[in-house]
């Protein structure tokens, strides 16, 4: 039972992060390699806010989390406006190289601003992280929040893209940006909005991960491990995240439990390579969506 709980929790972590990749790709056809570093920034923003003496208890933690997520959202919009928007229209590989450079920059800034040593987000807050029993298995309160947050984000974005006007326009901008702009759709707003939503979800993942474990600059690598989830499920599919996350989480937990936890860290990339050979457009993707860079 504990094994299956671990699979679900890890799949939820990867799923919440993978949604950010899909959101940006659905709108702009860009893979953001700096996505995991927004996860790191979200955790550090919360850490800085929690350092204020007047924030205490569960209510203070919720309030501080909202502020941290808002800061992350605004920071991503600023980065998009200053760096990414001017690159739109350039070859895809150039924008990908820019996001890789952005990842290195954000990680370096995090080390300069907060240091490289791990930090706990709950120290001095008076908020515990009790375990919840499920038969013979147990999970922490923040593990459960991860599952709820991931499921809510998947459901909410599915409704967003299918029924809301801005979601439908985002799909149109992805299919044909030129035609969409000629029809009066502000594609730059939609691209920026997708960056903001992606960073918001990554920051939420960073907050939940940091409160459940600790925060450090290298947790951004968890975002790279979540990228295969989106690619395996299909970069254009929100629903594809579910089987992609379960497949990778299940394989990683099996290797960690029955072979070597260190080896399990490379399992997402191994599955990614296999998927690219067998079905590069993903489980729920379409063959015509594959673009060689």
Contact 236, 289 (CB under 8 A): yes
pLDDT for the residue numbered 293: 43
Percent of the chain whose pLDDT exceeds 70: 91
CA-CA-CA-CA torsion sign (144, 147, 150, 151): negative
Model pTM above 0.85? yes
Residue 129 has pLDDT above 70, yes or no: no
**pLDDT tens for residues 45-103?**
988 888 775 666 666 778 888 899 999 999 999 998 888 888 777 777 888 888 999 99
Considering its fold, how many domains does the chain have in total?
1
Separation of first and last alpha carbons in the chain? 43
CA atoms of 94 and 148, how far apart (whole Å): 36
Q: Left (φ > 0), alpha (ψ -120 to 50) or beta: where does 189 sit?
A: alpha
Instruction: Return mean pLDDT, the chain.
Output: 84
Query: Residue 197: CB partners within 8 Å, gap ≥ 6?
Result: 20, 23
Burial class (CB in 10 A: 0-12, 13-18, 19+), 155: exposed
Percent of the chain whose pLDDT exceeds 90: 21
Q: What is the CATH number of the domain that holds 252?
A: 1.10.3470
Closest CA relative to residue 106, chosen from 22, 42, 18, 17: 42
Burial class (CB in 10 A: 0-12, 13-18, 19+), 245: buried
Contact 56, 189 (CB under 8 A): no
User: Alpha helices, DSSP H only, in 115-186?
Assistant: 141-163, 165-175, 177-182
Closest CA relative to residue 16, chosen from 267, 211, 199: 199
Residue 133, phi then psi, degrees to nearest 5: -90, 135
The domain in which residue 106 lies consists of: 2-289
């Amino acid at each position: 039972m504990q094994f299956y709980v671990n699979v679900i929790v890890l799949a939820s972590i990867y799923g919440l992060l993978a949604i950010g990749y899909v959101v940006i790709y659905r709108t702009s056809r860009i893979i953001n390699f700096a996505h995991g570093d927004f996860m790191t920034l979200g955790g550090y923003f919360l850490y800085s806010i929690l350092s204020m003496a007047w924030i205490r208890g569960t209510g203070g933690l919720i309030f501080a989390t909202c502020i941290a997520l808002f800061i992350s959202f605004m920071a991503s919009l600023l980065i998009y406006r200053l760096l990414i928007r001017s690159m739109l229209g350039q070859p895809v590989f150039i924008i990908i190289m820019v996001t890789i450079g952005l990842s290195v920059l954000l990680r370096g800034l995090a080390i300069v601003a907060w240091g490289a040593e791990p930090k706990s987000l709950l120290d001095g807050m008076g908020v515990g992280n009790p375990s919840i029993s499920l038969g013979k298995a147990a999970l922490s309160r923040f593990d459960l929040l991860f599952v709820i947050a991931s499921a809510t984000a998947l459901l909410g974005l599915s409704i967003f893209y299918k029924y809301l006007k801005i979601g439908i326009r985002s799909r149109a901008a992805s299919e044909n940006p030129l035609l969409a702009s000629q029809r009066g759709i502000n594609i730059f707003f939609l691209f920026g909005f997708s960056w903001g939503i992606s960073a918001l979800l990554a920051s939420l993942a960073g907050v939940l991960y940091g409160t459940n474990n600790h925060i450090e600059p290298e947790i951004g690598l968890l975002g790279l491990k979540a990228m295969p989830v989106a690619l395996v499920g299909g970069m254009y599919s929100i629903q594809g995240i579910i089987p992609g996350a379960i497949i990778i989480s299940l394989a990683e937990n099996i290797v960690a439990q029955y072979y070597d936890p260190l080896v399990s860290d490379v399992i997402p990339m191994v599955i990614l390579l296999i998927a690219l050979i067998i079905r590069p457009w993903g489980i729920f993707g379409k063959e015509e969506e594959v673009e060689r860079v």
